Amino acid sequence: MRTVELQIQDIAFGGKGVARDEGKAVFIPFTIDGERLSAEIVREKKQFAEGELLALLEPSPHRVAPECPYFGRCGGCSYQHIDYAHQLEIKTRQVEQAMRRIGKLADPPMRPSVPSPLPYGYRNRITVHAEDSVVGFYRRDVHELMDIARCPIAMPEVNEALAQLRKGRVRDGHYTLRAHSGPRVFAQTNDAVAEALAEQIAQMFIGEEKLLIDAFCGTGFFLKRFAPAFERVVGIDWDRFAIEAAQKDTGANEAYVAGDVATKLRWLLEKNELTPTALIVDPPATGLSAEMRRAILDAPPRTMIYVSCNPPTLARDLAELQQRFEVISITPFDMFPQTAEIEVVAHLSGHK
The amino acid that residue 225 corresponds to is R
Of the candidates 30, 71, 221, 256, which one interacts with ligand SAM according to CB under 6 A?
Answer: 221
Please provide the distance, in angstroms rounded to a whole number, between the alpha carbons at the two ends of the chain. 56
Residue 40 CB partners (closer than 8 Å, separation 6+): 1, 2, 3, 51, 52, 54
How many of the other CB atoms lie within 10 Å of CB of 58?
A: 10
Contact assessment for residue 344 and residue 311, using Cβ atoms and an 8 Å cutoff: yes
Minimum CB distance to ligand SAM smaller for 92 or for 189: 189
CB of 296 to ligand SAM, least distance (A): 14
237 binds ligand SAM (CB under 6 A): yes
Minimum CB distance to ligand SAM smaller for 70 or for 222: 222
Dist CA 311 CA 334 (whole Å): 13
Dist CA 228 CA 234 (whole Å): 13
CB of 193 to ligand SAM, least distance (A): 12
Looking only at the bridges linking them, the beta strands covering 211-215 and 277-281 are parallel
261 binds ligand SAM (CB under 6 A): yes
C-alpha closest to that of 149 among 163, 133, 161 = 163
User: Per CB under 6 A, which region of 42-50, 68-76, 138-146, 184-192 contacts ligand SAM?
Assistant: 184-192
Dist CA 121 CA 204 (whole Å): 30
258 binds ligand SAM (CB under 6 A): no
124 binds ligand SAM (CB under 6 A): no
**Residue 306: CA count within 13 A, CB half-sphere:** 30
Contact assessment for residue 120 and residue 153, using Cβ atoms and an 8 Å cutoff: yes
CB of 174 to ligand SAM, least distance (A): 18
218 binds ligand SAM (CB under 6 A): yes
284 binds ligand SAM (CB under 6 A): yes
Of the candidates 79, 216, 306, 336, which one interacts with ligand SAM according to CB under 6 A?
Answer: 216
Minimum CB distance to ligand SAM smaller for 251 or for 284: 284
Of the candidates 186, 247, 255, 320, which one interacts with ligand SAM according to CB under 6 A?
Answer: 186
- Nearest residue (beta carbon) to ligand SAM: 218
191 binds ligand SAM (CB under 6 A): no
The amino acid that residue 273 corresponds to is E
CB of 270 to ligand SAM, least distance (A): 17
Of the candidates 12, 18, 179, 262, which one interacts with ligand SAM according to CB under 6 A?
Answer: 262
What DSSP line would sit under 18-45, residue for residue? EEEETTEEEEETT--TT-EEEEEEEEE-
Q: Contact residues for ligand SAM (CB under 6 A)?
A: 186-188, 216-219, 221-222, 236-239, 242, 260-262, 282, 284
